[in-house]
Structure 1
Amino acid sequence: MTRPLWVAAGFVLFALGWIGMVMPMMPGFVFLLGALYCFARGNPALEKWMLEHPTYGPALRNWRDHRRIARKSKVAALSVMVLAGVLSGVFAGFPVAIVPIAIMTLVAGWIWTRPE
């Protein structure tokens, strides 16, 4: 893949990451990790900018270097998942809500078992 394609993919993933930060049930940080990966291959200056960003830079560095998730981030992610699960149950109803709640339960278990 050429450098411009890596950069383009990085911008798409970056945009999805920001959308995911405000949309429940959409994992924003995963897309930011993808953007970081793409920028590392296409434009190291953008990778550096993401890693030095005051808001999400520390979490990106923590994951990239040590595969750790801070307890504050874990609690925030799990809280949003619980809220999204409750809203799914209320608005979608019993049979439909089982699938997203099951998926969020599996993801929550994975998040909680990551080192801090």
Structure 2
Amino acid sequence: MQRIVLLILGWLAIVLGTLGIVLPLLPTTPFMLLAAWCFARSSPRFHEWLLWRSPFGRYLRHWQQHRAMPPRTKGRAIALIILTFAISIALVKILWVRSMLLAMLALLVAFMWRIPVVAETPEPRQPPR
């Protein structure tokens, strides 16, 4: 039963994380980390797929190995966060919603800024067997 719950939670996290790519208030990274955690405990096959075959695999493997982000990735992530929030703030006309978005932007950028940076190291193209 626990395995099924973790599988469902893992796939839900994949869906929400993928939506988070285009929706500014839905974070991608925490959902992908949650999916990796769920799959590691419920399905070695899906965990391997997520780490080695999905578009997020390189970043997840780097996080698991170093507990840090690659420098270019961190810069891109912060720039994308600022861009999507700026668009949202420009489109919203209600002052209190703009203020809330601005506060969320500040907190999110501060959080991202604190994540350590470690340069990427060459890694194998295929999973170790």
Query: How far 1:45 moved relative to its partner?
Result: 1.4
Q: Deviations over 1:11-34 (max 9, x none)?
A: 111111111122223211211111
Is the CA contact 1:21–1:29 (under 8 Å) kept in the aligned structure 2? no
Two-structure CA RMSD over aligned residues (Å): 1.7
- Residue number in structure 2 paired with 1:43: 43
- Residue number in structure 2 paired with 1:64: 64
Match of 1:25, SS? coil
Percent identity of equivalent pairs: 29
Q: Deviations over 1:10-69 (max 9, x none)?
A: 111111111112222321121111111111111111111111126311110111222111
Which AA in structure 2 matches 1:95? Answer: W
State the TM-score, normalized to the length of structure 2: 0.80
Is the CA contact 1:52–1:58 (under 8 Å) kept in the aligned structure 2? yes
- Residue number in structure 2 paired with 1:13: 13
Which AA in structure 2 matches 1:77? Answer: A
- Residue number in structure 2 paired with 1:23: 23
Match of 1:22, SS? coil
Structure-2 separation of matches of 1:97 and 1:37: 34
Query: How far 1:85 moved relative to its partner?
Result: 2.6
- Residue number in structure 1 paired with 2:97: 96
Q: By percentage of residues, which structure has more helix?
A: 1
State the TM-score, normalized to the length of structure 1: 0.87
Is the CA contact 1:7–1:43 (under 8 Å) kept in the aligned structure 2? yes
Structure-2 separation of matches of 1:88 and 1:111: 19
Structure-1 separation of matches of 2:108 and 2:64: 19
1:21/1:88 Cα in 2 relative to 1: closer, same or farther (>3 Å)? closer
Structure 1, unmatched stretches of 5+, are none
Moved over 3 A (4+): none
